[in-house]
Amino acid sequence: MGMTGKTAELNFVTKITKKNEKTAMKNIMEELALTLTADRPPFAEIYDAVSEQLLLLIFKARKLALDPAWHGWFAEQHRLLGILCAKKEQLAEIYKHDSYVIGEKEKPVDDVLYALILMRRLFNGFDNNQVSIKTWGQINKQPESWHGRFSHSLMAESAFINDELIEILIKAKAGSEPIPAEVRQGYCHQDLSIAWSRADLLIEKLNAWFAIDPLTLLSEAVFQLVYLYRNQRPALPDWLSRFGGVHIYNPVPTISDNPGFTEINKILKQHKRQFIRDVQSNADEREAEHLLDLYRNAAAKHVCDWLWEIMAYLKTPQWMPFLWKLCTVIPPADANKEENDAQPWNDDYCQITILRENLLELIQKNSLGEATRFLSDCLMRIYRNAAANKAQGLPASISDEEKKGYTSNHYLFTPPRELARERDAESVMGFEKWYQQNKVLLTSHNVKRTEKVSVEAWLAGLKCFDLKRGIPNGDAMKIKDGVYEKIKNDKNLKMPKGTSPNSLQRYHNRVKEVISARIDTLIEQQQTSNQLAPYSGARDAFKPLWEKSPIRSPDRTDKEQQISDPSDLFTQ
């Protein structure tokens, strides 16, 4: 090919490259504008995903509690929860210092959470096929001596259990048998009990989704960006210049507590649209992507905070623990041939080990990806200095830290806040993807048409169902008593204005049908679908609520495995 041909080819490639760059830049700016101007935070599917899990749980709880075979158990736990909630001030005095963190704002007393500190162990006993009184007898064995920071709380708790709680349990005739695992379909006793007794509370926490403010998310993203520029560059780019006078300090413990955040939020409240136009006009592709990433990470943190507010009332999700061991091995220089042949490598090498059984469990629980990502972070922490020296042409000598070796649960490997936010985003996106592949409730296959059934419609139907039957306290209402008006005035139900009584009756009938005839099938359908597109078993991943208990009754061996602490892996 002559020079003219080569020049023409080069010009063609250059034009294509520039065109692709322009297209990519245009796409990023369009995505940025759509994301930052939206009236809801990113992760549009996560609200529906979490709502479906709560609705399935609540429907299952009603199915069981309305069955004469299990109604006594639900009534017993409801009475006990009410008695303990009435003693919230006494329980708060026992436990209020147990979770105190320096700099943390004091929260108002939550009667249900304080009651659950005691009841969780009772529920765990039921999950392990034990009757309540036997469970309490086992958990309240005092150690021979009290030591440590919380010894006063432990002694006060023990006194409360011995002096009051045992008597409460006896008076309440708390002796119902556990609900068999086959009947619970993977749900645990605690979640079922709370879903029956405190569904309104769960729905109130669910409704807090709508309090996540996109302006706050943007303010946090801009705060972090300005903070990074201040630490890395002499001047802010033009599109951030309006924040040049803001005094920004290290964002600890939370960004929203920093005075600089308040200033940025005030500026954006007045000039948000102009700021977005400035980004589109003046920011380059890398800067725009960085802002988008920070915005999504801020949103992910708020979404996770919202979800954990709900999960505080439910049993902690199970996860698959793992333990890596890693160290640098230096083969002996004077080794004979047999010794050299026994070495995996003839030069210095990094040895990484994990128990085979642990590896198989990680694969089985779909959490190997998280375990290997965490291993990658550990390796980076140990070897990054040697890699940096090598890149600069300096000796990459083996440090004592490398030769010493570490296990992956060492405190050195605690992820920084920025990485934690990225993992929050991964968790949210992962559960959104799982929901899209496994949803069963929010789509209705009508004979005439297929339609999406909104969360609001399900919640309204549930409220109507509960009011008509007096769930959970037995104070049933009739339509003429104002059931529909009460639903329309419920601040936790986002019903469109003008929703007709006929629509509410239709929503009620749909809920009634699911609870009476379809809930078990829907749960089985999702569990079957999950086998093809399984949820992640990683520690920080969101999981379906039916994954907390075996789907068959445990025999003796199973019970021993359930009672054992997963953290045992960390001490091997």
Q: What single string gives the DSSP state of each residue in 449-496?
A: -EEEPPHHHHHHHHHHHHHHHTTTTS----GGGTHHHHHHT-TT--PP
Interval 21-60: pLDDT, tens: 566 567 778 888 888 888 777 898 999 999 999 999 999 9
Residues 460 and 535 in one domain: yes
pLDDT per residue rounded down to tens, the chain (572 residues): 555 655 655 554 454 444 445 665 677 788 888 888 887 778 989 999 999 999 999 999 999 999 999 999 999 999 999 999 999 999 988 887 655 444 455 667 799 999 999 899 889 989 988 776 656 655 555 555 555 545 677 788 888 888 888 888 877 777 789 999 999 999 999 999 999 999 999 999 999 999 999 999 999 999 999 998 888 877 899 999 999 989 887 766 678 888 899 999 999 999 999 999 999 999 999 999 999 999 999 999 999 999 999 999 999 888 889 999 999 988 877 666 666 667 788 888 999 999 999 999 999 989 999 899 999 999 999 999 999 999 999 988 898 888 888 999 998 888 776 677 788 888 999 999 999 999 999 876 554 555 567 999 999 999 999 999 999 998 999 999 999 999 988 988 988 888 899 999 999 999 999 999 999 999 999 999 999 999 998 888 899 999 998 876 655 444 433 333 333 322 32
Cα 145 from Cα 571, distance rounded (Å): 24
Segment (H or E) for 84:
helix 68-86
Residues 512 and 447 in one domain: yes
Residues 473 and 401 in one domain: no
The reply to whether 521 falls in a domain is yes
The reply to whether 243 falls in a domain is no
Domain count, the chain: 2
Cα 215 from Cα 327, distance rounded (Å): 46
The reply to whether 3 falls in a domain is no
What pLDDT, on the 0 to 100 scale, is given for residue 565?
36
The reply to whether 332 falls in a domain is yes
What pLDDT, on the 0 to 100 scale, is given for residue 50?
97
Residues 366 and 448 in one domain: no
Choose among 433, 434, 430, 417: nearest CA to 301: 417
Contacts of 325 (CB under 8 A, 6+ apart): 351, 352, 353, 354, 405, 406, 407, 408
Cα 431 from Cα 535, distance rounded (Å): 7
What pLDDT, on the 0 to 100 scale, is given for residue 206?
97
The reply to whether 58 falls in a domain is no
What pLDDT, on the 0 to 100 scale, is given for residue 458?
96
Residues 485 and 541 in one domain: yes
The reply to whether 286 falls in a domain is no
Residues 394 and 472 in one domain: no
Cα 109 from Cα 92, distance rounded (Å): 7
Contacts of 528 (CB under 8 A, 6+ apart): none
Scanning 128-213, the segments in alpha helix (DSSP H) are: 132-139, 151-160, 166-171, 181-184, 189-197, 199-207
Q: How far is CA 322 from CA 317, 361, 424, 547, 549, in A?
A: 16, 9, 19, 19, 20
Cα 349 from Cα 247, distance rounded (Å): 48
Check: CB of residue 453 under 8 Å from CB of residue 55: no
What pLDDT, on the 0 to 100 scale, is given for residue 549?
87
Phi then psi dihedrals of residue 89, to 5 deg: -65, -40
Residues 505 and 443 in one domain: yes
Print the domain residue range for 390. 325-408
Interval 75-103: pLDDT, tens: 999 999 999 999 999 998 888 765 544 44
Residues 444 and 399 in one domain: no
The reply to whether 288 falls in a domain is no
Residues 454 and 403 in one domain: no
The reply to whether 397 falls in a domain is yes
Residues 481 and 527 in one domain: yes
